[in-house]
A and B are shown apart, each in its own frame.
Chain A
């Protein structure tokens, strides 16, 4: 989705358990919920990297 919107150099950090010890820990485990970090760049020439579909 991020590349389709128009971002480039999209990077993802490791998926981590961020609900351990919280009151919603069991709910988070039920749906296999993970914390993530992600980053990307708006290209200098926006149209250059946008997909055509």
Chain B
């Protein structure tokens, strides 16, 4: 599935996998390192958050940000089910990240920024929260043809 190892996917809670709406694999640029602090923008049900949590281990942590309490509760439930104590769930917008300046080693996101009206603001926020030398690894979608306003206004095209 999108380049994720099947045994890894199978090890995640069923509800987490069923709610996954990612568009790629942000870990394709490399795994995270133990002890790192990671920010997952638009964590959804926590699919990538839980993978990141395992990779950074107990000495690291994952800040999972989503705009909806329902998604954050799914992420928290998944972390509890797997016994992961290093997941910090926070409600907020991608354009106004509830994260301190220069406090994060790695930013990940999956299929979220295309939904944000102000993509430049999102990436400026990523720059703000990353430590100097920190990195982002993002999966998303792009379109090669102009999308008409009628399609932009069709809510069914905004969700899976």
Contacts and interface: CB of A to CB of B under 8 A. Distances in A.
A5 B120 contact: yes
Interface residues of B, number: 32
B138 A37 contact: yes
Interface string B1-32: 01000000000000000000001111011000
B24 A37 contact: yes
Chain A interface category by residue count:
20 to 34
B144 A27 contact: no
Contacts of A36: 24, 139-142
Interface stretch (B36-44, B55-63, B82-90, B124-132): B124-132
Contacts of B147: 31
B111 to A, nearest CB: 8
B115 interface: no
B132 A1 contact: no
B151 interface: yes
B23 A35 contact: yes
Interface string A10-44: 01010110100010100100111111111111111
B136 A40 contact: yes
B135 interface: yes
A11 B29 contact: yes
Given A22-B160, A40-B135, A33 B119 contact: no
A27 B23 contact: no
B143 A31 contact: yes
B22 to A, nearest CB: 9
Nearest to B139: A37
Nearest to A11: B29
Contact of B137 (A2, A15, A37, A46): A37
B133 interface: yes
Interface of A: 1-2, 5-7, 11, 13, 15-16, 18, 22, 24, 27, 30-46
